[in-house]
Structure 1
């Protein structure tokens, strides 16, 4: 059973997965909050384009690569974004980033996952937002983090995967921010590295 992470919580991926992991997927899902209408009748919803990104950092906490909707694969090939969802329509994950932990270069110490509202709406227009990490080989969910904190923020630093004593761990960061792309969050990410 997956761990429901709280802001700031850290877990060992292998302990939670029950063994060695080779590939994990970070899934991002959301629904657009309905607004207006009388008792829900005639409620309207407007498309919200949330974007998942992951920034790769080296031992000196310098960004070495990024995977996002404008670059769907890391230069080393270890991380792949499955594509941009611009509406949040449908059930389950709306965007996914697949990480092959075996081939992430040794020089990469941490992977920071972010979510941004590319269309600029704040998170009060979103509901049921989550990020989840699962074992790609069997679909078993390892951890889930609820992102649906209503508010005026347009972005969030979701989580960090990092190496510690030869093992991958996960830190649920959950820090709200503003900006349309991961680049706008870089000053907020640095203190978490």
Structure 2
């Protein structure tokens, strides 16, 4: 069982005893909140959340992985594909981004994970949304950040993986924002580098 992260909390991704952590997966899961009243009888609402990973070197974005660019230019970060409607809320990942830490170029110091509501709904209209980090080699969940309390925003700067002294660390940011794409979040992301 991993660590449930709260806003601003940081954990080290360095493993003690045994082989080091080499490949991590950021998983994103969600479902639409049920409609109430008259609208409940209409068809289910579709909510398209998008996971993105922005790679930074010296405080500048040097690459991004998202639904229109599924693999980083160097091949170290890979998006598994776009999910347009979310899941059934069963806890599985609806979108995933794999990061091969051993292949991330040495000049890349940070990778910031974001979530956007591409269809424009606020997180008040989303249920069971989470971001988690998994050791891809063992399947062990290392950390989980839950989108709690809904809110009148359409995006979240979820977490970042960053190097410090040759070791990878993860910080949960949980910073609410507004925007339909990662590009809309760049000013907010910059304040967390």
C-alpha separation in 1, matches of 2:160 and 2:23: 16
Structure 2: tracts of 5 or more residues without a match: none
Q: TM-score, normalised by structure 2?
A: 0.94
Per the normalisation by structure 1, the TM-score is 0.94
1:44 CA displacement: 5.6
| Equivalent residue in structure 2 for 1:61, among 59, 62, 86 | 59
* Corresponding residue to 2:71 among 63, 70, 73: 73
Please list every run of 5 or more consecutive structure 1 residues that lacks an aligned counterpart in the other structure: none
> Is 2:51 aligned against 1:52?
yes
- Measured on the aligned residues, the alpha-carbon RMSD in Å equals 1.9
Distance 1:17 1:114 in 2: 31
Residue-by-residue CA offset, 1:80-101 (whole Å, 9 max, x unaligned): 0000000002430000000000
Equivalent-residue separation in structure 2 for 1:19 and 1:79 (angstroms): 21
Deviates more, 1:144-153 or 1:45-54: 144-153
In structure 1, distance between residues paired with 2:166 and 2:137: 21
Q: Judge conservation of contact 1:33–1:45 (CA < 8 Å) in 2.
A: no
| Match runs of 1:20-39 below 5 Å | 20-37=20-37
CA distance in 2, matches of 1:17, 1:10: 21
Cα deviation 1:53-80 (Å, max 9, x = unaligned): 000000x200000000000000000000
Aligned residues: 191
Q: Secondary structure at the match of 1:128?
A: strand
Q: Which residue of 2 aligns with 1:83?
A: 81
* Secondary structure of the structure 2 residue equivalent to 1:108: coil
